């Protein structure tokens, strides 16, 4: 299974972060979580088991708190 890097960094030339950059970061994080949740929910129980997960682990994976 492929690994998807869902981290993004925002670079602002003046060294600070603007409100627009913060909004973009929040929306990007939300979309990455949505896509991860959707992809994992489409897997069968057997496929989840193959990668060491169960259906109840999906939210922890999405939140980044899964310690398997």
Q: pTM of this prediction?
A: 0.70
| More confident site: 13 or 52 | 52
3-state secondary structure of 24: helix
Task: Give the pair of three-digit tokens for residue 53.
Answer: 């997960």
Domain boundaries, the chain: 19-63
- What DSSP letter does each residue of 35-55 carry, written as one string? HHHHHHHTS-HHHHHHTT--G
Cα of 32 vs its chain's centroid, Å? 5
For residue 5, the model assigns a pLDDT of: 65
C-alpha span between 65 and 68 (Å, rounded) = 10
The Cα–Cα gap between 1 and 3 comes to 7
pLDDT of 64 strictly over 90:
yes
């Amino acid at each position: 299974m492929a690994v998807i890097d869902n981290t993004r960094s925002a670079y602002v030339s003046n060294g600070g972060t603007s409100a627009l950059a913060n909004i973009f970061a929040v929306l990007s994080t939300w979309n990455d979580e949505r896509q991860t949740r959707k992809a994992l929910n489409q897997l069968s129980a057997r496929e989840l088991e193959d990668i060491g997960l169960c259906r109840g682990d999906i939210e922890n994976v999405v939140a980044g708190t899964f310690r398997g």
